[in-house]
Chain A
């Protein structure tokens, strides 16, 4: 099959075009917005769960370090929720951009979110978790076995490191895609 035949076969595919009234488009747009809102609500609900849980710890535990740690975890969680909100609200690249520029901006946006995840997703929780765990070690469970405390601390640190490494790996993958994009453009941003 030569080029022309292939193009003709491509154009004669049995793919009926969709026809939408403006009312239908309004309805679909609302549905898409609702889907995004549900996803965001789930993330906020997870943050709320953490806040409620540690708010209870500030009342239940009589130890100052654990109370302070709980309060700082709540603050850290609120910072994360705020960051999620800011990032979800920020506009993605305008869809009418030329393909190369649109693709580049999308990749940069995603790469930055992953590259800085240690700062906005992990770091806000670290001070609170350290204080809380310190409180557990010296106030709540002062006579507990050293190995148990160390094991718990190592497990928490491993989770934090895994999150950071996973996100940095994703950022590097996106950077490789960015590096492969052509640099010469005629009218990329028009």
Chain B
């Protein structure tokens, strides 16, 4: 692919999927400053990847794969630091209690719990969960992750159960 096409593909991808990329990076990095760096890295990787894009798969699948794989590399690179900084669910719940003092909505509290859960997940499970939250169906998640549709369906089922337990636990806490 020539440079002009590469740039055009990137610009189209950034326009169509820019908000999705921002959310994905939030699923891979908590710290806002590091998240901005990671988002930059995702955009660079995406732009570089379009040098070899020949419509092997849909643009969305390509963009999601690149973004998640950069995220996975980021997790591996920062694993030790992440482990030191990672919060237990109880910590998040404690934070949530502090947030209630400044009147954050229940919606945000639930999102904070979900985010805490996401940051504890292994890379592939995290990928499935983020794609599930993006409202992709099982077939599309399978295409991005390379997991079998059956495996995706099982994981999504478990994710739903964990989310239900997580959120109902949060409500009881409140």
| Contact residues in A for B110 (Cβ distance below 8 Å) | 1, 6, 9
Flag whether B36 is at the interface (Cβ < 8 A).
yes
- Would you call B111 and A17 a contact (CB within 8 A)? no
Binary A-proximity of B2-40 (CB < 8 A = 1, otherwise 0): 000001001100100011011100100000000010011
Nearest chain A CB to B129 CB, angstrom units: 10
- Would you call B146 and A10 a contact (CB within 8 A)? no
Which of the residues B21, B56, B65, B114 comes within 8 Å of A95, measured between beta carbons? Answer: B65
Smallest Cβ-Cβ distance to B130: which chain A residue: A10
B40-58 contacts to A (CB < 8 Å): 40-41, 43-45, 47-49, 52-53, 56-57
- Would you call A95 and B18 a contact (CB within 8 A)? no
| Contact residues in A for B160 (Cβ distance below 8 Å) | 3
| Contact residues in B for A6 (Cβ distance below 8 Å) | 110-111, 114, 133, 163, 167
Nearest chain B CB to A189 CB, angstrom units: 8
Nearest chain A CB to B106 CB, angstrom units: 7
| Contact residues in B for A100 (Cβ distance below 8 Å) | 124, 145-147
Smallest Cβ-Cβ distance to B148: which chain A residue: A184
A67-108 contacts to B (CB < 8 Å): 92-103, 106
A103 and B124 contact, Cβ closer than 8 Å, known pairs A96-B53, A98-B146: yes
A99 and B145 contact, Cβ closer than 8 Å, known pairs A1-B106, A5-B107, A32-B44: yes
Flag whether B69 is at the interface (Cβ < 8 A).
yes
A94 to B10, CA, bound (A): 17
Binary A-proximity of B129-169 (CB < 8 A = 1, otherwise 0): 00001110000001111111111000000001001000100
Interface centre among A15, A94, A110, A185 (most CB of B within 10 A): A15
Flag whether A187 is at the interface (Cβ < 8 A).
yes
Interface centre among A3, A97, A98 (most CB of B within 10 A): A98
- Would you call B23 and A11 a contact (CB within 8 A)? yes
A185 to B143, CA, bound (A): 10
Interface size class of chain A, counting residues whose CB lies under 8 Å from the partner chain = 35 or more
Flag whether A190 is at the interface (Cβ < 8 A).
yes
Flag whether B72 is at the interface (Cβ < 8 A).
yes
Flag whether A7 is at the interface (Cβ < 8 A).
yes
Nearest chain A CB to B84 CB, angstrom units: 17
Q: Number of contacts between A and B (CB, 8 Å)?
A: 152
A10 and B147 contact, Cβ closer than 8 Å, known pairs A20-B14, A29-B44, A99-B124: no
- Which residues in B have some Cβ–Cβ distance to A below 8 Å? 7, 10-11, 14, 18-19, 21-23, 26, 36, 39-41, 43-45, 47-49, 52-53, 56-57, 62, 65-66, 68-70, 72-73, 76, 106-108, 110-111, 114, 122-124, 127, 133-135, 142-151, 160, 163, 167
Which of the residues B65, B72, B148 comes within 8 Å of A96, measured between beta carbons? Answer: B65
- Would you call B41 and A3 a contact (CB within 8 A)? no
Flag whether A52 is at the interface (Cβ < 8 A).
no
- Would you call B127 and A99 a contact (CB within 8 A)? yes
Interface centre among A10, A15, A93 (most CB of B within 10 A): A10
- Would you call B69 and A102 a contact (CB within 8 A)? yes
- Would you call B69 and A99 a contact (CB within 8 A)? yes
Query: Can you name 27 A-B pairs with beta carbons within 8 Å?
Result: A1-B110, A3-B160, A9-B107, A9-B111, A15-B23, A15-B26, A17-B14, A17-B19, A17-B21, A20-B14, A20-B40, A20-B43, A25-B10, A25-B44, A29-B44, A93-B69, A95-B70, A96-B49, A97-B146, A99-B144, A100-B124, A103-B72, A182-B124, A186-B142, A186-B143, A187-B142, A189-B146
